[in-house]
């Protein structure tokens, strides 16, 4: 089943990033808070990441060609990895800016107005994040989901900065500004690591999660009552597309048409497990009585 173009969702991310950058820079200029400056820097990363996501989604949506016969879906993993790297880079920039503020704290100004501006920016990010994560899960797009989770991290980051500024106002301890900024940076580094890890797993053709594998096995189990067996079940995810391969062992007395009909039913039943995903199912038919049918189980494959 095909999916609609995801570019429109990335445009939402780009617009949100441009708006929040403007608002957070205004808040920084009003308050002189390095915590708010760190928040604005992360929004700059959001903008760069959204532009990269747009480029990669355009590439991922290109149809297969002679050099890429399985399509270009894996381009999304590069987008997520790049975004993770940019997040980590921004985090170290924040730490670089925050340490001097801990050593030489400076007073904050216009705190009330600055906080209101940041709250407005956070609400924009929250709305954009919910849209991106929801549609990223719906269409199995790691790019949209990563971008949405990054925006949600931005919301959490802003909340931490607001808390820090509020505590400064209550306690008068100016070093809290730099301490909060470093705490924000460490949280950002963790998010970047998670995105890079997920991208690496996708590029390494990691198998489906256990719950999805169990669902596939339940579908295959329905056919065992017909003296049909399975082995060599293999799965991988490539961006929005899922690939599933399984060997079907059936009675050798069946003719080609009967075997083909069963294979078509098995493939369709598996595809129905993922109605909102582009799913490709490969089946290989083998006679259950022939010992040679079992020789390929051990070739880097999982025995059903």
Does 76 share its domain with 153? yes
CATH for 123: 1.20.1510.10
Residues whose CB falls within 8 Å of the CB of residue 196, separated by 6 or more in sequence, listed in order: 80, 81, 84, 85, 88
- pLDDT of 67 higher than 60: yes
Tokens 């050798």 — which residue?
Answer: 252
Domain boundary among 188, 203, 218: 203
In a domain, 259, yes or no: yes
- For the CA atoms of 152, 153, 155, 157, what is the dihedral angle to 10 degrees? 170
Does 159 share its domain with 265? no
How far apart, in whole angstroms, are the C-alpha atoms of residue 142 and residue 121? 24
- pLDDT of 140 higher than 90: no
How many domains is the chain partitioned into structurally?
2
In a domain, 118, yes or no: yes
Does 199 share its domain with 258? no
In a domain, 303, yes or no: no
- Report how far Cα 259 is from the mean position of its chain's Cα atoms: 39
How far apart, in whole angstroms, are the C-alpha atoms of residue 11 and residue 31? 30
In a domain, 133, yes or no: yes
Does 79 share its domain with 151? yes
Does 30 share its domain with 174? yes
Quickly state the pLDDT bin for 298 (edges 50, 70, 90): low
In a domain, 302, yes or no: no
Tally of CA atoms within 13 A in the half-sphere of 180 that contains its CB: 26
Query: What six digits make up the tokens of 98?
Result: 């925050």
Q: Which residues of 236-263 are buried (b: 16+ CB within 10 A; e: fewer)?
A: ebbbbbbbbebbbbbeeebeeeebeebb
- For the CA atoms of 129, 76, 283, 209, what is the dihedral angle to 10 degrees? -50
Domain boundary among 203, 225, 255: 203
Query: What six digits make up the tokens of 272?
Result: 């129905």
CATH for 266: 3.30.70.1350
Write out the DSSP string of 40-77: HHHHHHHHHHHHHHHHHHHHHTSPP-SS-TT-STTHHH
Quickly state the pLDDT bin for 265 (edges 50, 70, 90): very high
- pLDDT of 142 higher than 90: no
Structural domain span for residue 237: 210-294
- pLDDT of 302 higher than 60: no
If one counts every other C-beta atom within 10 angstroms of the C-beta of residue 277, the result is 16
Q: What is the pLDDT of residues 108-133, one digit of tens each?
A: 666 677 778 878 888 998 999 899 88
Does 33 share its domain with 119? yes
pTM of the model: 0.58
Least confident of 26-30, 92-96, 292-296: 292-296
In a domain, 299, yes or no: no
Write out the DSSP string of 80-116: HHHHHHHHHHHHHHHHHHHHHHHHS------HHHHHH
Does 190 share its domain with 264? no
In a domain, 301, yes or no: no
Does 100 share its domain with 180? yes
Does 143 share its domain with 242? no
Does 109 share its domain with 61? yes
Does 98 share its domain with 197? yes
Q: What is the pLDDT of residues 163-192, one digit of tens each?
A: 777 777 777 777 776 787 787 778 778 877
How far apart, in whole angstroms, are the C-alpha atoms of residue 178 and residue 101? 5
- pLDDT of 301 higher than 70: no
Provide the pLDDT for residue 264: 93
Does 217 share its domain with 259? yes
Q: What is the pLDDT of residues 228-260, one digit of tens each?
A: 888 888 888 776 678 899 998 888 888 889 889
How far apart, in whole angstroms, are the C-alpha atoms of residue 47 and residue 211? 35
Domain boundary among 203, 231, 263: 203
Share of the chain above pLDDT 90, in %: 8
Query: Is 238 within 8 Å of 141 (Cβ atoms)?
Result: no
In a domain, 1, yes or no: no
Provide the pLDDT for residue 2: 47
């Amino acid at each position: 089943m095909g999916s609609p173009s995801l570019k429109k969702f990335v445009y939402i991310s780009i617009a949100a990033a441009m708006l929040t950058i403007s608002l957070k820079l205004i808040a920084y200029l009003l308050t002189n808070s390095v915590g708010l400056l760190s928040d604005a820097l992360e929004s700059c990363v959001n903008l760069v990441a959204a532009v990269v996501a747009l480029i990669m989604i355009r590439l991922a949506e290109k149809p297969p060609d002679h050099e890429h016969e399985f399509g270009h879906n894996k381009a999304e993993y590069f987008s997520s990895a790049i975004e993770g790297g940019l997040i980590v880079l921004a985090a170290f920039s924040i730490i670089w800016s925050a340490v001097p503020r801990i050593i030489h704290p400076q007073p904050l100004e216009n705190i009330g107005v600055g906080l209101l501006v940041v709250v407005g920016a956070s609400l924009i990010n929250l709305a954009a994040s919910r849209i991106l994560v929801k549609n990223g899960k719906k269409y199995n797009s790691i790019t949209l989901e990563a971008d949405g989770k990054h925006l949600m991290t931005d919301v959490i980051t802003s909340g931490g900065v607001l808390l820090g500024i509020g505590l400064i106002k209550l306690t008068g301890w100016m070093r809290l500004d730099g301490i909060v900024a470093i705490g924000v940076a460490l949280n950002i580094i963790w998010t970047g690591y998670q995105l890079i890890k997920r991208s690496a797993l996708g590029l390494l053709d990691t198998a489906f999660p256990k719950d999805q594998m169990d669902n596939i096995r339940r579908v295959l189990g329905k056919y065992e009552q017909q003296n049909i067996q399975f082995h060599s079940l293999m799965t991988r995810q490539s961006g929005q597309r899922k690939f599933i391969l399984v060997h079907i062992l059936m009675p050798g007395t069946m003719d080609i048409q009967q075997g083909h009909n069963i294979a078509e039913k098995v493939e369709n039943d598996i595809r129905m497990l993922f109605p909102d995903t582009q799913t490709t199912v490969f089946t290989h038919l083998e006679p259950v009585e022939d010992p040679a049918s079992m020789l390929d189980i051990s070739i880097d494959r999982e025995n059903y």
